Chains A and B, each alone.
Chain A
Amino acid sequence: MIEQGGRAARLSRTGAWLIICFLLLPITVIIPISLTDRSYLSLPQHDLSLQYFRNFFTSPDWLSSFGQSFVIAVAAMGLAVVVGTLAAIGCWRLGGRVGDGMRFLMLLPMIVPTVVYALGIYRTYAELGLLGTYAGVIVAHAVTGMPYVAILVSAALADFDTRLDQAARSLGASIAQSLLLVLLPIIRPAIASGAIFAFIHSWDELLLVLFIGGRAMFTLPRHMWDGIQDTLDPTMAAVAAILVAITCLMLALDVALRRRDV
């Protein structure tokens, strides 16, 4: 291992490791807590126990929340990826003021605080009868997840060599053929990354669901939210540990995709 720099660099490295430990502490501590043998939220005392994981997998309430979150996240991801990718390609080709304006529009959900959008969409859905529906939550999550897709795909497009496309076109490919056969395979890793981000965005989203979920949409984050505020059942720690595991898998998937890309 090559270590660089003098005393300052070494000192900052020690500090940095401490701060990174602080970053990882709560994520790590969730795992032993989820294995506790006691009846309340705590570290295990005598033995490790899987009782709270059993609770989760045998509870129809938790499982239905899990399923609901999954359906919503997959649908919102699909919508965000298709619409966001098409728009990113359009912006890239059109350029100029149209492209810039559209890109800014797609970034808005990342800039405007979520609570502001939550109020507006709550009011709008109340009139459209979309409160407490799958369609309502999916559209709201797709719209707010689109910035991730737009950013990642736009970045990949900026590196794309336009001569490839020109070559395809001058050899007689139509616009559709050139997009599907030349452009799409090259930006596919960026689209996949965007999809993962859009999925996680929806999977974790709480505030919007609190407003527009009505009685019927009880996603996993909402279930956890209610759980934390009402009871301190350690089952929540088991759910949290499962979520950490899923996220680590997704991150590994993203790293693998990017590595193949390079």
Chain B
Amino acid sequence: MASESLSSGVIPGSMEPGPHGGRRALAERHVYRLLIAPALVLLLAFYVFPVARVLWISVNEPKPGLGNYAELASASVLRVVGTTAEICALTTTITVLLSYVVAYAITHSGRRVRRLMLLGVILPLWISVLVRSFAWFALLRGQGVINTALLQLGFIDQPLALMWNKLGVTIGMVHYMLPYGILPLIANMRQIDPAYTAAARGLGAAPLEAFRRVFLPLSLPGIVASGVLVFIFSLGFYVTPVLLGGGKVVMVTEFISNEIMVVLQWGTGTMLATTLVAAVLLLLAVLSRIVNVRQLFGAK
């Protein structure tokens, strides 16, 4: 314990001189350990234990072994995995492209425009996902606002199929993910010194070339961070795909939830849940090689 307190750097108490300094620092560490204790107990009992159990069940029910994982090759599971991968890839691509435009505008504008735009990005982040999906539902459905308007204006004779298909799910998901895509890109672009692009221009590069050869490569870590974050959040998404997919576009979270609540297949459900965790951790591992993951989640 003593060596631990020595190696861990600055501890206010340990700086005090005198023969009792060390003992006092040690006593203080006990106080700080006590501060951590409630959170530790709560997380271990009500978070880590339940999640660990899901992993355990996946290899033990209905019988021990990797039998559940063989189902990854079954047609129904493959279809869900395929749909999930497709929607997530589509959502991520569109979200990152749009996010790049917004982040570029925000980092290249005056203070007032910047603040106004940031507000427009952050406000939706705070609005309940249920409210937002419900609003899209009201906009996109057959007798919804968009179809009614288009019919009245005479642009179409038949309502367009805007939801209960991949289009609707993707619109709703891109809408939800945009703030998560924009914020990491802003953080990255803020660190790019405008002098670099200016230097490229000064040396005779055309605007587009200066962007392509100087700014774009420097913003690559931001693009990766934004993309991986959006992809991870998309993988575990529930509300929007269920509501706007209407049972026609089933993604993995809805499938898992049905396995447990409707058909009571704990084996398949926990197996897919475990696979989901593995996929997320793998992506984070890739991400951590390129950017500082802890900074991305706000920790220092």
Chain A interface residues toward B at CB < 8 A? 1-9, 12-13, 15-17, 19-20, 22-27, 29-30, 33, 40-43, 82-84, 86-87, 89-91, 93-99, 102-103, 105-124, 139-140, 142-144, 146-147, 150-152, 154-155, 158, 162, 165-166, 169-170, 175, 200, 203-204, 206-207, 210-211, 221, 224-225, 228, 236-237, 240, 243-244, 247-248, 250-251
Contacts and interface: CB of A to CB of B under 8 A. Distances in A.
Contacts of B139: 25-26, 29
Main secondary structure of the interface of A (DSSP, over half): helix
Contacts of B111: 2
B28 A113 contact: no
A83 B46 contact: no
B193 interface: no
Nearest to B300: A158
B54 interface: yes
A110 B256 contact: no
B38 A87 contact: yes
A84 B299 CA distance: 14
Interface string B107-132: 01111110001001111101111111
A113 B235 contact: yes
Given A158-B300, A221-B128, A12 B121 contact: no
Q: Is the interface of B mostly helix, strand, loop or mixed?
A: helix
12 contacts: A23-B121, A23-B124, A29-B135, A86-B39, A93-B29, A113-B280, A119-B269, A121-B46, A154-B300, A155-B299, A204-B130, A221-B128
B257 A117 contact: no
- Ranked nearest first, the 3 interchain pairs of A and B with the lowest CB-CB distance are A113-B236, A120-B50, A96-B8
**Max count, chain A CB within 10 A of own CB: residue among B42, B104, B138, B211:** B138
B12 interface: yes
B50 A166 contact: no
A82 B120 CA distance: 31
